[in-house]
């Protein structure tokens, strides 16, 4: 990829540090002046009030070079809107939303071998509860694997529970996956997921708006969730309590015009309450990766197969044929007149129905009467 001017990188690194995301007004100033001039104006304090409010507390910090050096040492690079791998199209939804809380990121620290724009193409977010059940983690892993096998990127937040299971599922299918963090891209949070984050970076990306070393704070998880939604064509919620970060991601996905999906579960499980609420409010119920692909994939190409139902020997019979078939007792022979009265069907209709039933091997003719062949006798009525 073509290198980005060092001054732009320094300016964007400075902007990420002084303006705690989401920083709508600062973003607008950057759009107007360009990143270098905007950073200079902020440093001087020569900015509109709204931008001053977002930047006053930290505008004197001079850590851009330190951040870039620390990042390089940790294998982290800064992807900026001026980079070829910036996902302009998916991120345009932030600007279009007009919602301050959904301000577009000013840049992203990323770690890993993936290309951000490529990974955001046909990406799907899988999010859910940290306190997941065995059912939830099983389903998240299956979905992650199924989506990866179908060529889609799985995006999540690297948390324990559903997030981790989704990343692992994608990795198990050999697919790249993207983790968006609420702390610096060089930190492992949770600590127990350090090996998982390493594996994610091998083929995919770990991304963050927060500079190297930044600690996770609660509001950063909520702010980070908008990135997960924004990088993806759709968001699947797998297990969520009623009030949860996953539901916030879901709400962001809706506000960004993305497909919102939820996996149902037992109504007796508190872990599925949030998912059921989302579905009742309009989220698409999904049960399999194919259904997610159909909802997020290419029109007319990524269609889910209908699940197979059981086949019955009587499939395809018309109502009269079915009535005659059912009128015949399981283990006794009857004549056509008896069948007509029992089925309530005229004699000539009984005769033509019997022709078709015999052709299908569902009845046998013997000594002027009809009976069922032995092999079909045990089927239950529906």
Task: Quote the least distance from Cβ 77 to a second copy, whole Å.
Answer: 23
Among 13, 29, 54, 372, binds a second copy (CB under 8 A): 54
Task: Quote the least distance from Cβ 216 to a second copy, whole Å.
Answer: 6
Among 6, 219, 298, 365, binds a second copy (CB under 8 A): 219
Q: Which is nearer to a second copy, 86 or 210 (CB)?
A: 210
Does the protein bind a second copy through residue 265 (CB under 8 A)?
yes
Buried b (16+ CB within 10 A) or exposed e, 211-248: bbbbebeeebbbbbbbbbbbbbbbbbbbbbbeebbbbb
**Using CB under 8 A, which of the segments 103-111, 120-128, 194-202, 267-275 binds a second copy?**
267-275
Does the protein bind a second copy through residue 192 (CB under 8 A)?
no
Does the protein bind a second copy through residue 163 (CB under 8 A)?
no
Q: Which is nearer to a second copy, 112 or 136 (CB)?
A: 136
Alpha carbon distance 228, 182 (integer Å): 11
Q: Which is nearer to a second copy, 49 or 367 (CB)?
A: 49
What are the beta bridge partners of residue 205?
A: 178
SS3 assignment for 171-220: HHCCCCEEEECCCCCCCCCCHHHHHHHHHHHHHCEEEECCCCCCCCCHHH
Task: Quote the least distance from Cβ 60 to a second copy, whole Å.
Answer: 9
Among 305, 308, 367, 378, binds a second copy (CB under 8 A): 308
Does the protein bind a second copy through residue 114 (CB under 8 A)?
no
Among 118, 314, 351, 369, binds a second copy (CB under 8 A): 314
Among 95, 172, 203, 349, binds a second copy (CB under 8 A): 349
Alpha carbon distance 179, 107 (integer Å): 16
Identify the H or E element spanning 16. Answer: helix 6-18
Among 36, 63, 70, 322, binds a second copy (CB under 8 A): 322
Alpha carbon distance 254, 249 (integer Å): 9
**Using CB under 8 A, which of the segments 39-47, 110-118, 227-235, 317-325 binds a second copy?**
317-325
Does the protein bind a second copy through residue 50 (CB under 8 A)?
no
The full DSSP string for 58-117 is GTT---HHHHHHHHHHTTEEEE-TTSTT--HHHHHHHHHH--GGGPPPS-EEEESSS-HH
Among 67, 186, 252, 291, binds a second copy (CB under 8 A): 291
The number of angstroms, rounded, from the C-alpha of 364 to the middle of its chain's C-alpha atoms is: 54
Edge to edge, the sheet with strand 76-79 lists 76-79, 108-111, 205-208, 177-180, 154-156, 124-128, 234-238, 259-263, 284-285
End-to-end CA distance of the chain: 63
**Are 120 and 231 in contact, with CB atoms under 8 Å apart?**
yes
Q: Which is nearer to a second copy, 115 or 277 (CB)?
A: 277
Among 151, 174, 257, 346, binds a second copy (CB under 8 A): 346
**Among 217, 225, 172, 228, which Cα is nearest to 196's?**
172
Task: Quote the least distance from Cβ 107 to a second copy, whole Å.
Answer: 16
Does the protein bind a second copy through residue 232 (CB under 8 A)?
no
User: What is the contact mask toward a second copy in residues 83 to 102, using x (rule: CB under 8 A)?
Assistant: ------------------x-
Q: Which is nearer to a second copy, 120 or 345 (CB)?
A: 345
**Are 181 and 148 in contact, with CB atoms under 8 Å apart?**
no
Enumerate binding residues for a second copy (CB under 8 A): 18-20, 52-54, 56-58, 61, 101, 135, 138-139, 182, 216-222, 241-245, 263-268, 272-273, 276-277, 279-280, 284-285, 287-288, 291, 307-310, 314, 319, 322-323, 325-327, 340-341, 343-347, 349-350, 381-382
């Amino acid at each position: 990829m073509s290198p980005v001017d060092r001054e732009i990188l320094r300016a964007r690194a400075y902007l990420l540090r002084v303006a705690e995301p989401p920083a709508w007004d600062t973003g607008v100033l950057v759009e107007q002046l360009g990143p270098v001039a905007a950073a200079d104006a902020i440093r001087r304090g020569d900015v509109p009030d709204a931008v001053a409010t977002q930047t006053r507390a930290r505008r004197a910090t001079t850590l851009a070079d330190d951040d870039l050096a620390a990042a390089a040492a940790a294998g982290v690079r800064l992807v900026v809107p001026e980079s070829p791998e910036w996902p302009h199209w998916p991120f345009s939804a932030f600007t279009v939303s007009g919602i301050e809380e959904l301000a577009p990121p000013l840049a992203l620290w990323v770690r890993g071998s993936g290309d951000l724009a490529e990974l955001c193409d046909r990406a799907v977010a899988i999010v859910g509860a940290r306190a997941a059940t065995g059912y939830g983690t099983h389903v998240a892993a299956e979905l992650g694997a199924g989506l990866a096998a179908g060529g889609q990127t799985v995006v999540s937040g690297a948390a324990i529970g559903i997030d981790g299971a989704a990343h692992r599922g994608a990795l198990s299918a050999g697919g790249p996956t993207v983790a968006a963090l609420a702390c610096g891209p060089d930190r492992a949070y949770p600590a127990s997921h350090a090996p998982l984050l390493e594996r994610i970076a091998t083929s995919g990306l770990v991304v963050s708006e927060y500079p190297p070393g930044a600690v996770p704070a609660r509001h950063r998880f909520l702010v980070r969730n908008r990135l997960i939604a924004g990088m993806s064509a759709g968001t699947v919620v797998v297990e969520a309590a009623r009030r949860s970060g996953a539901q916030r991601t879901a709400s962001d996905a809706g506000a960004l015009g993305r497909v919102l999906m939820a996996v149902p579960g037992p109504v007796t499980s508190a872990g599925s309450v949030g998912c059921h609420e989302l579905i009742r409010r309009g989220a698409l119920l999904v049960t399999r990766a194919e259904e997610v692909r159909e909802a997020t994939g290419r029109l007319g190409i990524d269609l889910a197969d209908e699940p197979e139902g059981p086949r019955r020997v009587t499939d395809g019979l018309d109502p009269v044929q079915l009535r005659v078939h059912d009128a015949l007792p399981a283990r006794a022979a009857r004549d056509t007149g008896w069948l007509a009265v029992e089925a309530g069907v005229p004699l000539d209709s009984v005769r033509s129905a019997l022709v078709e039933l015999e052709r299908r091997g569902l009845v046998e003719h013997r000594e002027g009467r009809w009976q069922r062949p032995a092999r079909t006798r045990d089927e239950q009525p529906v």
